[in-house]
Structure 1
Amino acid sequence: AASFRLKHLFLCGSLVFHVGEDWLEFFYPALKPWVHYIPVSPSLNEVKDLINFAKENDEVVKKIANRGKRFITKHLKMDDISCYWKKLLFQYAELLKYKVGRRMEYQEIVSPHKHKSEL
C-alpha cells in the first residue's frame, strides 16, 4: 500500500508481484509488467494462478526479478531522483501566479555523506 517501498522490494532481488496502479512514483511508468514485475489486478482474482506460474517457471521468474533489481540500481540513483525533483519543482514554479525566488537568509543543508545513495 505504500508506493515508496516498491523500489526496496526490487532491491531484495526477489520476484515482485505488483498490485494495481493507484499509488505511483515518478519511475513507475518506465517499469514494464512481465519484464520487471508480475502484475496483479486489485481484485486479486488471478493470484493463485500467478503464484502457481511462478512456482512452475523458476528460471523465468528469476530473470524477471533480476531485471527488476537491475532497473532500480541503474535508474534510481540519488542523482536521478534529484534531477526529477528539480525538473518537477521548476515546472511547478512556472504555474504559480507569483515569482519564485530564493531567500538568501535560508541556508542549504548538505549531507556530509556526499556520495550516499537514497537506495
Structure 2
Amino acid sequence: DFLTWAQLQRFRAVVSIDGFTLADRLAYLVVGGFAILRQETEWAEGWYRFMQPWVHYAPLRTDLADLVPVLQRVLRNDSLARALARNAALLGARHLSRRALTCHWLTLLHGYAQWVQMPVRAAPGAFRVRPDRGFW
C-alpha cells in the first residue's frame, strides 16, 4: 500500500529508492520538509546536479547495504536531520518552483531555437500561449 501525503508527514526521514527508472517522487520529497535518504544510482533528472550528499540528502549505496546505519545516523542526530530537510527544502524552492521550472524550460527552448537552422512556422490552427498576468 502507498501512504498518502498526510500519512507521510508523520515521518522525519524518508528513503528514495529507484526502480526500473528514477524515483520521480523525489521532487515532492525535497520540498516536503523531510530528511531524505537517497539511493545513489545512474538515473537522474536535470536538477539532481544541484543536490549534494550530506547537504541535501543522506547518500545510500546502490545495493542499499548501508541503509540501516545511515538511517540510524540520521534519526539519532536531530541537527543533521533538520539540516538535511531544511537544505533540501531550500533547494526545492530555488530549483523546483513553478517560476524556476519555467526559467529552466525557457533556457532550454532558447538554446534549442539557436540551434535550429530552418525557418519555424506555426501549424495551421496553432495559437500563441501567454502566461497569466499573475504568473511571475
| Aligned equivalent of 2:87 | 67
1:99 paired to 2:118: yes
Which of 29, 33, 46 is the equivalent residue of 1:9?
A: 29
Q: What residue ranges of structure 2 are gaps of 5+ in the alignment?
A: 1-17
Q: For structure 1, which runs of at least 5 residues remain unmatched after alignment?
A: none
Q: Pick closer, same or farther for the CA change 1:103–1:32 going to 2, 3 Å.
A: same
Are 2:86 and 1:31 aligned? no
- Mapped to 2, the partners of 1:113 and 1:21 lie a distance apart of 40
Seq. identity, %: 23
Q: How far is 1:100 from its partner? A: 5.1
State yes or no: 1:58 paired with 2:65: no
The 5-angstrom pairing of residues 77-88 of structure 1 reads 77-88=97-108
Task: Give 3-state SS (helix, strand or coil) of 1:18's partner.
Answer: strand
Change (3 A) 1:9 1:46: same
Q: Which residue of 1 aligns with 2:15?
A: none
Q: Which structure has the higher relative contact order (CA within 8 Å, separation 6+)? A: 1
Change (3 A) 1:101 1:3: farther
Q: Deviations over 1:6-26 (max 9, x none)?
A: 110012211111112322222
CA contact (8 A) 1:15 1:65 kept: yes
Q: Given the two structures, how large is their TM-score scaled by the length of structure 2? A: 0.69
For 1:103, the aligned partner's letter is A
| Number of aligned residue pairs | 115
Q: In 2, are the aligned partners of 1:18 and 1:39 still within 8 Å (CA)?
A: yes
2:5 is matched with: none
TM-score, scaled relative to structure 1: 0.78
Q: Determine if contact 2:94/2:100 at 8 Å carries over to the other structure.
A: no
Alpha-carbon displacement from aligned partner over 1:47-93 (angstroms, at most 9, x marks no partner): 11101111221121111111111111133222221221222234345
Superposition RMSD in Å: 2.5
Quick one: distance in 1 between partners of 2:81 and 2:119? 48
